[in-house]
Structure formats: structure tokens, C-alpha cells
Amino acid sequence: MKKTFAAILVIVMIFSLSAVALADDGKVFIMGIDPEYPPFSYLGDDGEYTGFDVEVCQAVCDYLGWKMEIFGVNWDEKLVQLDSLECDCVWSGMTILDSMKEAGYVISEPYYDNTQVLVVKEDSGLASSADLEGKIVAVQLGTSGEALLNGDLADLAATFGNIVTCDSFLKCFTELEGNAVDAVFVDLPVAASYAANHDGLLIIDEQLGAEQYGIAFRSGDAELCAQVEEAIQALVENGTYAEIASKSEYVDIVNNLLFLNANESAA
């Protein structure tokens, strides 16, 4: 009796071990995105999440044989959510900040060079950041733009009349179009894609707070980061990366993609 029981136990254990092994083969990789950040990550017309980062991540997972899942993070809580295992990375047009590295997060090689721009109304007569003295500027909470205004660009920020923080970039632009603010401080690609669909807006690009995008992983996940980086490199080499970037949706960002430009300069 006892022996039978032991035998069953052993069999059960073997099965569960192999189950674990199988699960490892079909690893699930949870990508943390800001679902409202086109063209990097957003809800597509078909109701599925899409965007440049999402497509690249999908290609990476396909390459590595992983199953990809998408988790929409609350952008200003993204690192907390990463720590609490709600996702395995934050990959969504995320600006690399020194504070992230200091806090121990593993950050990938930068893949995108971003700049912050000011968007104003064409008929406002505003043409440079100097014109915004005493004016109201909107910025999205949790974006690098906000961090810059509180940090490196604090001197510029001090000349503004007031800074309004909104919880989505759409609200920033609504405030602008509804004349509640005079300018929006936002990432260039976001500004470009919004201005392309809405008339009467002017982008003031003064190369403010040039910055780079990367992927954030938990502090213990250096290996995972390396795996993803290698996969991306492989995709760059086999042309998949360029193929994704060549889509018309990404026309505004293609020039700022570091890997492609590196290839070009090498070529």
C-alpha cells in the first residue's frame, strides 16, 4: 500500500516537473505598455493593441518562441507595476532616466532618440520657447517632458506662467485647442502624429531635452534584458526591424530609430 502510494507520488512529481519544463519552453512574456501612446503603443482600429514597440516585441517573442501578453500600465505607476510582477518589462516609448538606473532597474540599450517640443496654435503668434514667458504650458504627468520641466529645464519652466499636468496627452491637446493652455510640452513623435491629424497647430522644435527611449526590466532580470536585446539585434540584421519601421504609421519616428540609423551609417 505504502509502496503504491510512493509510486503514485513519484509519477505525479515527474509529471509536474515536466509540466514546469514545458511551461518554460512556452514562456509567457508580459509587455507593459502605455496603451495611449501612439505610435509606439496604442489601441488600433481593430481594437487590438498595436504600435511600433508592440510590433517589435511581438517579433522578438516570435523569434524566441515566447508567448506575448500585453499589460496596460498606469504610466505614472509603471515601475511599481513592474516590481509587482504585473509585467516583465516596460516597453512603450519610455524615456531612460538616470533615476531609474539609480533605483536599480535594468535598462536596455536605447533604441530611439527623442526630443521634446512645444506645440502651440498657429494663430497664437508664439514662435519660440522665449515667447512663452508668463504663458500656461500643459504637460502629461509621468512623461519625460514633466521630468525635464522639474529638472534640467527648470529654468525654462520658471519663465512659464503656470504648468498644468494632465493625465493623458490627449487632455493636454484638448486644453490647448480649448484655449485653456497656450502650449503643450510633449515628445516630438506624439506632437507630429497629433498635428498631422489636427489642423492649426505649430510644432516648435528647439531640441529641448533630447532624450532616449529604452526598455525597463526588474533589477534581477539582466539576463532577460540581454535575451531581448540579442533578439532585437537579430531582427535588425534579418531586416524584420526595418520592415516594421517602414510602415506608414511610423513615418514620424523612423528617422529617430537608433538601430536603423546605425545600420545606415555602417552601410
Partner 1 sequence: MSLMTMIVKMSEGLGKTCAIFFLTLLFSLPLGMIVALLRMSKVKVVSTITRFFITVIRGTPLMLQLLAVTYGPYYLFRANVSRNKLIPVVIAFSINYAAYFAEIYRGGIESISIGQYEAAEVLGYSKFQTFMRIILPQVIKRIMPSVTNEVVTLVKDTSMAFTVSYQEMFTIGKQIANSQTSFMPFVVAGVFYYIFNAIVDYLMGRIEKSLDYYR
For residue 186, what are the β-bridge partners?
117
Site for partner 1 contains 235 (CB under 8 A): no
Site for partner 1 contains 187 (CB under 8 A): no
Q: Which residue, 59 or 79, is less far from partner 1 as judged by CB?
A: 79
**Alpha helices for 98-221 (secondary structure H):** 98-102, 144-150, 154-159, 169-177, 188-197
Query: At 130, which amino acid appears?
Result: A
Q: In what order do the strands lie in the sheet with 36-37?
A: 36-37, 41-43, 49-50
The residue from 10, 19, 80, 130 that contacts partner 1 (CB under 8 A) is: 80
Give the nearest distance from C-beta 148 to partner 1 in angstroms: 10
Site for partner 1 contains 34 (CB under 8 A): no
For residue 204, what are the β-bridge partners?
118
C-alpha cell at 209: 531635452
Q: Which residue, 131 or 177, is less far from partner 1 as judged by CB?
A: 177
Nearest in space to 214 (alpha carbons), one of 104, 73, 96: 96
**Would you give the distance in Å from CA 255 to the centre of its chain?**
17
3-state secondary structure at position 95: strand
Nearest in space to 138 (alpha carbons), one of 115, 108, 113, 118: 118
Q: Which residue, 58 or 165, is less far from partner 1 as judged by CB?
A: 165
Give the nearest distance from C-beta 6 to partner 1 in angstroms: 49
Site for partner 1 contains 180 (CB under 8 A): yes
Distance CA 191, CA 63 (A): 32
Residues 91-120 that bind partner 1 (CB under 8 A): 99-100, 103
Instruction: Sketch the per residue contact string, 191 through 230, with partner 1: x for CB under 8 A, - otherwise.
Output: ----------------------------------------
The residue from 59, 79, 96, 257 that contacts partner 1 (CB under 8 A) is: 79
Site for partner 1 contains 179 (CB under 8 A): yes
Q: Which residue, 91 or 105, is less far from partner 1 as judged by CB?
A: 105
Q: Which residues of 44-72 are buried (b: 16+ CB within 10 A; e: fewer)?
A: eeeeebbbbbbbbbbbbbebeebebebbb
Which residues contact partner 1 by CB under 8 A? Answer: 76, 79-80, 99-100, 103, 136, 138, 141-142, 146-147, 150-151, 164-167, 171, 174-175, 177-180
